[in-house]
Amino acid sequence: MKKPINYYLYKLKKYEIIGVSSLVILSVLALSYYFLLPNLRKAQEIFSQQKQLRARLTILRKKDELLSTIDSKVYQENINKLTGILPGSKDYVSLFNTFDNLQIESGVTILKTDLQLGSISTQSGKLKKDTLSSAFIIPVKIDIIGNIDQINNFINSLADLTNRIITVNNISWGSSADGLYKVSLDGNSYFYPLPSKIGGIDSPLVEINEKQQKILDTIAAIPAQRVDESEFVPLGKPNLFN
């Protein structure tokens, strides 16, 4: 039997409030999902970035406090000394200059210097590193002749921080004549390539410990070697056309 239309109108009116309420709720949920939820995620992202910025600001403040205690002039004045002692490259020229200076200062005569060119002419990535300092090693062998005092001065001058650092691994004493001894020294010189990248502005600074500070103070106390301009001898004519 077919139900009259009044029956359906009655049912519609009976559940009208529930239907409208459900439709409103579904509409609110849909609008919240498409419009409100992205804004909430954006707000959460902003809060996260704010937290990161506060952490970076804290690091920057600590970095600024540490830098304010450092005398930049000391580092600027001694950077040449530091690179002269431990250069950033193999720098054969400074190594031979070191041998010349050591010979003059100690009084010994250098008979022979042997650099293991095969091991130091390769790329830095293939070079052998010192296990304690991480610096690259240049194996050297030096044959000298002199008296006891001269040889002692020569050995002590190898690591007095005025020339390239050279450590001695083995000393072989040869025959003596007229108070002179032939000595062969096997050791290492070093170089430490400067980093190609520096840390970010908010990266923490590496603090210098007490031992490192003593080394810097020792280097700072070494007088800078200056060339007297009066010793230069003019070459040629000032004016080629006169």
The mean per-residue pLDDT over the stretch 84-104 comes to 87
Residue 220 CB-half CA count within 13 A: 13
**Rounded CA gap, 166 and 185, in Å?**
10
Helix (H) / strand (E) element for 173: namely strand 166-177
pLDDT value of position 88: 84
Judge contact between 183 and 136, C-beta under 8 A: no
Residue 164, strand partner residues: none
The alpha carbon dihedral of 208, 211, 215, 217 has a sign of positive
Torsion of Cα atoms, 148 then 154 then 158 then 159, to 10°: 70
- Most distant pair of Cα atoms in the chain: their distance: 141
pLDDT value of position 74: 75
Which burial class, exposed, middle or buried, applies to 94 when counting CB atoms under 10 A from its CB (0-12, 13-18, 19+)?
Answer: middle
Judge contact between 173 and 183, C-beta under 8 A: yes
Domain at 86-194, CATH from 3.30.70.60, 3.50.50.60, 2.40.50.140, 1.10.600.10: 3.30.70.60
Long-range contacts of 118-123 (CB under 8 A, 24+ apart): 120/90
pLDDT value of position 5: 61
Q: Are strands 166-177 and 136-146 parallel, antiparallel or unpaired?
A: unpaired
Between 35 and 148, whose confidence is greater?
A: 148
**Rounded CA gap, 45 and 135, in Å?**
44
For residue 121, name the pLDDT band (cuts at 50, 70, 90).
very low
Q: Which of 147, 149, 153 is nearest to 176 (CA)?
A: 147
For residue 236, name the pLDDT band (cuts at 50, 70, 90).
very low
Q: Which of 162, 189, 194, 192 is nearest to 85 (CA)?
A: 162
**Rounded CA gap, 155 and 132, in Å?**
21
**Rounded CA gap, 13 and 20, in Å?**
11
The total of other beta-carbon atoms located within 10 Å of residue 151's CB is: 22
**Rounded CA gap, 132 and 167, in Å?**
13
For residue 227, name the pLDDT band (cuts at 50, 70, 90).
very low
